[in-house]
């Protein structure tokens, strides 16, 4: 690719002969009059005559290598997704039923660990997909020189070096279609990929029985006939319909039989029950969902007057419907369970009032040990959607590598390189033009003469970003922050009805933890609806990140442009030649790209902890089949506060970066191709040699065919900064008369 003319498949620039030049201008630059000739270009002829295999042309530009790496990573992710999905769906031990499989069932700690590791892997794969998509989309939207020339001929300009939707209307339809295909498939990935695997908690409802201190002694009397009807119904035989106490009653559950035996004081040493101190009992059961414990006997210091008095003092069924579910610790309506636990930890007695009005102290307890039933589950339907999106991405990226053979101007350096080698006649004579001049004057075809340099001071970074981008980013951020603030207020108001809403209390409840209070009272028809709503913030954040990223990309492009007016620099291009530098990850330096990626990851994690899928499988006090399932959304106020704080800091950081001054005075071209082109008209030098050296933009003196000073790039040492009030103009006639 030593000959830059291969960059122009449709047009080339041909200087007119000397006679024509003399007639039209009267002497001066050889670029005074230039015509565009449609041609069977060198690029086309080389492709037709070349004996090289087709694939070799793909490697002509550096960004193809990056897209090829992205396509490879996406194909690898696709193979991983397909392989693991087929294995999980066809393996009988995962018990696939109605599209839901069980990867693990047992310990809740183990379930959380497995879920954490799986989600870590999913996020790694998701990052590969999304970063590859963004890279490829920016390369697809980058214009070719022929597309820029065609747009400039119609007095339209294109974006260079930044993510752009504007360019989609002016690039080839094939690249636009590929860009849309990659973009659309990102939406389901944001919504679904992280929810393909989810953890279901298990919880036990249990019976708390308050007994006298001699309940478990031989010969003690327990009158169970006075038990509440709900407990009798709870022990009903599922086959015969008979309940405890009925003639001929036989239990269909070993746990019911064991509980009844202990309730009557006939089996005090059951192996599944353990003795604990009051403080230990309170600590074990002071939680929203009890998964490894069940029925509880609280032993008091109360002694019956006679041996045959009833040893059962009180009994209650603790259900997950209680809010909070640990209020049973007080055996009264007004109580703070946390205070009970704190008092016991400090050695104070556990005092309760029984039905007779007497106050008794709890001196010990028997707690039933159970196996945990937490699950790690996966959705086959979600994985099929993810695989389909993955496949479309992979195909689109492979097509991009194979089909997009014409070099595109991806970075600012690519554009300068192109316009210096082959000047654009539509922007001659306006070397002073900035983005605003292009929009107001050049766009409407107005002919202008020399103009004074009006910048009194160095511009700031925010000037390199269009008003549309600033308004879009700030509006979306502001709306999101306001919406999150309103939701946070509603969440705090809901929690305040039952829980303390101090920062310390919210911090104690933690990030992303399911509790009985912080649940959305929304009726979902199925788990898919819960998943979609839980992941909606992820999609919103991804869109915000794209606008935020484009904001920084524009400012950094403006900063790089300003450095050309500060000192001599080599061009940074995607396919460097001798004397040129290679690109970063496209336009953005790693010192900014990496922190922005960390910021995005942090916000996505905080969002996942702020609102999340709350799925709890509830079992009855006797361990029978799951009687109820909670499948809704949970929220964490402290996580929402953290996400809100990070979002506000991100917005303020962008404003702070925008206030930074550029290195020196220079035209604010932003990403505008026409403004960049206008700054690249030079004369009397070897263009091939110029772009291979360090160059600087500024005042280079008076052009040979003019009477006013000129601004352009030069490798010479005599380049000066533009002078306020000085009149400048370009070379040639296109921009105006001189």
pTM of the model: 0.74
> CA-to-CA distance for 65 and 59, rounded, in angstroms?
7
Average pLDDT of the chain, as a whole number = 77
Asked if residue 72 lies in contact with residue 136, where contact means CB atoms within 8 angstroms, the answer is no
DSSP state letter for 366: E
> CA-to-CA distance for 437 and 456, rounded, in angstroms?
17
Mean pLDDT comparison of 9-23, 549-563, 718-732, highest-scoring range? 549-563
pLDDT above 60 (res 70): yes
Q: Which residues of 24-50 are buried (b: 16+ CB within 10 A; e: fewer)?
A: ebeebbbbbbbebeebebbbeeebeee
The residue that leads in pLDDT, 728 or 29, is 728
Asked if residue 430 lies in contact with residue 437, where contact means CB atoms within 8 angstroms, the answer is yes
Mean pLDDT comparison of 89-93, 253-257, 454-458, highest-scoring range? 89-93
pLDDT tens sequence across 96-125: 888 888 999 888 888 888 887 887 788 778
Confidence of residue 5 (pLDDT cuts 50, 70, 90): very low
pLDDT above 80 (res 694): yes
Q: Which residue blocks in 142-277 are alpha helix, DSSP H?
A: 145-153, 173-184, 186-192, 229-234, 254-263
Asked if residue 424 lies in contact with residue 712, where contact means CB atoms within 8 angstroms, the answer is no
Average pLDDT over residues 199-227: 77
Angle (CA) 502 506 510, round 5°? 165
DSSP state letter for 16: P
pLDDT above 70 (res 50): no
The residue that leads in pLDDT, 106 or 578, is 106
Q: What is residue 63's predicted lDDT score, i.e. its pLDDT? A: 75
Dihedral sign (CA 270, 276, 280, 286): positive
Percent of residues in the chain assigned helix, strand, coil, to nearest 5: 45, 15, 35
Output the DSSP codes for 594-638. HHHHHHHHHHHHHHHHHEEEEEEEEE-TT--S--EEEEEEEE-HH
> CA-to-CA distance for 722 and 329, rounded, in angstroms?
80
Calculate the CA 625 to chain-centre distance.
Answer: 38
Average pLDDT over residues 607-627: 78
Range of weakest confidence among 107-121, 163-177, 304-318, 377-391: 304-318
pLDDT tens sequence across 334-351: 566 667 778 888 888 888
Asked if residue 287 lies in contact with residue 274, where contact means CB atoms within 8 angstroms, the answer is no
> CA-to-CA distance for 247 and 228, rounded, in angstroms?
18
Q: What is residue 237's predicted lDDT score, i.e. its pLDDT? A: 63
Query: Distances in Å between the alpha carbon of 58 and those of 4, 55, 230, 418, 720?
Result: 16, 5, 76, 19, 41
> Which region holds residue 732: left if phi is over 0, alpha if psi is between -120 and 50, else beta?
left
Q: Specify burial of residue 275 (Cβ count, 10 A radius: 0-12, 13-18, 19+).
A: middle
pLDDT tens sequence across 80-90: 999 999 998 88
Asked if residue 258 lies in contact with residue 272, where contact means CB atoms within 8 angstroms, the answer is yes
316: closest CA among 293, 334, 300, 297? 297
Query: Distances in Å between the alpha carbon of 5 and those of 1, 10, 406?
Result: 9, 10, 11
Output the DSSP codes for 267-334. -TT-TTEEEE-HHHHHHHH-SS--SSEEEEEEEES---SSTTSB-EEEEEEE-TTSSSGGGGGGTSSS
Q: What is residue 78's predicted lDDT score, i.e. its pLDDT? A: 93
Average pLDDT over residues 438-452: 79
Strand segments (E) across 301-459? 312-318, 350-353, 359-369, 374-379, 451-452
pLDDT tens sequence across 410-436: 888 889 988 988 888 888 888 888 888
Asked if residue 647 lies in contact with residue 541, where contact means CB atoms within 8 angstroms, the answer is no
548: closest CA among 620, 600, 613, 480? 600
Calculate the CA 144 to chain-centre distance.
Answer: 31
> CA-to-CA distance for 706 and 716, rounded, in angstroms?
20
Query: Distances in Å between the alpha carbon of 588 and those of 470, 553, 598?
Result: 18, 6, 15
The residue that leads in pLDDT, 184 or 542, is 184
The residue that leads in pLDDT, 497 or 384, is 384
The share of the chain scoring above pLDDT 90, in percent, equals 10
Confidence of residue 250 (pLDDT cuts 50, 70, 90): low
pLDDT tens sequence across 134-165: 888 988 999 999 999 999 999 999 998 888 88
DSSP state letter for 585: B
Q: What is residue 25's predicted lDDT score, i.e. its pLDDT? A: 36
Q: What is residue 384's predicted lDDT score, i.e. its pLDDT? A: 93
């Amino acid at each position: 690719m030593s000959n830059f003319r291969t960059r122009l498949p449709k047009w080339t620039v041909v200087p007119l002969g000397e006679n024509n030049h003399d007639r039209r201008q009267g002497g001066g630059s050889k670029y005074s009059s230039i015509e565009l000739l449609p041609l069977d270009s060198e690029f086309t002829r080389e492709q037709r005559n070349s004996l090289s295999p087709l694939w070799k042309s793909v490697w002509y530009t550096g960004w193809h290598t990056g897209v090829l790496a992205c396509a490879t990573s996406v194909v690898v992710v696709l193979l991983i997704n397909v392989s693991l999905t087929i294995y999980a769906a066809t393996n009988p031990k995962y018990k696939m039923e109605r599209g839901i499989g069980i990867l693990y069932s047992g310990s809740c700690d183990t379930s959380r660990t497995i879920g954490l590791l799986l989600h870590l892997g999913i996020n790694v794969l998701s990052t590969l997909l999304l970063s590859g998509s963004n890279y490829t989309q920016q390369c697809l939207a980058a214009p070719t020189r022929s597309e820029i020339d065609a747009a400039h001929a119609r007095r339209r300009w294109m974006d260079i070096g930044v993510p752009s939707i504007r360019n989609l209307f002016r690039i080839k339809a094939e690249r636009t279609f590929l860009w849309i295909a990659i973009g659309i498939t990102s939406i389901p990935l944001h919504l679904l990929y992280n929810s393909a695997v989810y953890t279901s908690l298990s919880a036990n409802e249990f019976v708390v029985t308050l007994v006298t201190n001699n309940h478990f002694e031989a010969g003690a009397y327990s009158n169970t006939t006075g038990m509440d009807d709900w407990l009798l119904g709870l022990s009903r035989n599922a086959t015969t319909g008979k309940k405890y106490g009925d003639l001929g009653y036989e239990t269909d559950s070993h746990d019911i039989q064991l509980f009844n035996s202990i309730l009557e004081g006939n089996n005090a040493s059951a192996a599944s029950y353990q003795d604990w101190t009051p403080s230990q009992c309170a600590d074990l059961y002071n939680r929203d969902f009890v998964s490894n414990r069940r029925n509880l006997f609280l032993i008091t210091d109360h002694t019956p007057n006679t041996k045959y008095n009833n040893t059962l003092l009180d009994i209650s069924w603790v259900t997950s419907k209680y809010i909070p579910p640990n209020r049973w610790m007080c055996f009264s309506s007004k109580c703070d369970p946390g205070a009970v636990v704190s008092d016991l930890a400090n050695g104070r007695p556990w005092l309760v009032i029984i039905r007779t009005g007497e106050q008794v102290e709890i001196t010990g307890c028997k707690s039933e040990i159970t196996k945990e039933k937490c699950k790690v589950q996966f959705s086959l339907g979600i994985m099929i959607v993810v695989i389909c999106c993955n496949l479309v991405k992979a195909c689109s990226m492979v097509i991009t590598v194979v089909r997009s053979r014409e070099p595109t101007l991806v970075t600012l350096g690519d554009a300068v390189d192109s316009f210096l080698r082959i000047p654009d006649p539509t922007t001659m004579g306006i070397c002073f033009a900035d983005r605003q001049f292009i929009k107001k004057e050049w766009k409407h075809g107005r002919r202008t003469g020399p103009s004074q340099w009006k910048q009194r001071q160095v511009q700031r970074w925010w000037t390199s970003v269009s008003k549309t981008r600033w308004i879009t980013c700030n509006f979306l951020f502001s709306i999101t922050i306001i919406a999150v603030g309103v939701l946070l207020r509603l969440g705090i108001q809901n929690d305040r009805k039952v829980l303390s809403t101090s920062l310390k209390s919210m911090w104690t409840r933690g990030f992303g933890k399911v509790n009985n209070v912080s649940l959305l009272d929304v009726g979902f028809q199925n788990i898919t609806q819960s998943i979609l709503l839980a992941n909606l913030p992820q999609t919103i954040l991804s869109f915000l990140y794209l606008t935020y990223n484009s904001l920084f990309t524009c400012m950094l492009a403006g900063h790089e442009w300003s450095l050309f007016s500060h000192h001599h620099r080599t061009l940074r291009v995607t396919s460097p030649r001798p004397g040129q530098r290679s690109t970063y990850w496209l336009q953005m330096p790693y010192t900014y790209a990496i922190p922005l990626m960390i910021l995005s990851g942090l916000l996505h994690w905080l969002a996942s902890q702020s609102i999340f899928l709350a799925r709890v499988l509830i079992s009855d006090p006797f361990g029978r089949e799951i009687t109820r399932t909670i499948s809704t959304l949970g929220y964490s106020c402290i996580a929402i506060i953290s996400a809100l704080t990070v979002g506000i800091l991100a917005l303020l950081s962008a404003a702070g970066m925008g206030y930074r001054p550029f290195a020196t005075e220079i035209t604010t071209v932003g990403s505008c191709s026409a403004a960049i082109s206008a700054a690249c008209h030079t004369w009397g030098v070897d263009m091939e040699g110029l772009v291979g050296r360090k160059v600087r933009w500024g005042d280079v003196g008076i052009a040979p065919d003019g009477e006013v000073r000129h601004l352009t790039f030069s490798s010479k040492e005599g380049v000066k900064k533009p002078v306020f009030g000085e009149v400048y103009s370009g070379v040639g006639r296109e921009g105006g008369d001189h």
